[in-house]
Amino acid sequence: MFASLHPAAQGAIWGLLIAAVLYGLEYYLLKKQAGERARRQHKTEAVFDETEKARLHAVRNMCALVPLFFAVMWWMLF
């Protein structure tokens, strides 16, 4: 599919895809957890608490490095 691209570009594309899926799954799971907590507390709106916000920020920062890591590894291996 990406045969004509430089190996580092291929790795960066795969890294972007994996980072997006990782962040999306983490957001989905935290939103689900916040929704369950809101239902238990009889609230109408699910809101992230500080711990969940910090967790999302940490995952976001890690996801920013995943494409770079994949680009370097792809370039070294292929």
Q: Which residues contact 60 (CB under 8 A, 6 or more apart)?
A: 23
Structure confidence at residue 1 (pLDDT):
65
Structure confidence at residue 65 (pLDDT):
97
- Residue 10 lies inside a defined structural domain of this protein: no
What are the b/e assignments for 31-62, b being 16+ CB within 10 Å? eeebeeeeeeeeeeeeebeeebeeebeebeee
pLDDT of 23 above 80? yes
d(CA 25, CA 31): 10
Percent of the chain topping pLDDT 90: 94
d(CA 4, CA 21): 25
- Residue 53 lies inside a defined structural domain of this protein: yes
- Residue 36 lies inside a defined structural domain of this protein: yes
Number of domains in the chain: 1
Structural domain span for residue 76: 32-78
pLDDT tens digits, 37-70: 999 999 999 999 999 999 999 999 999 999 999 9
- Residue 71 lies inside a defined structural domain of this protein: yes
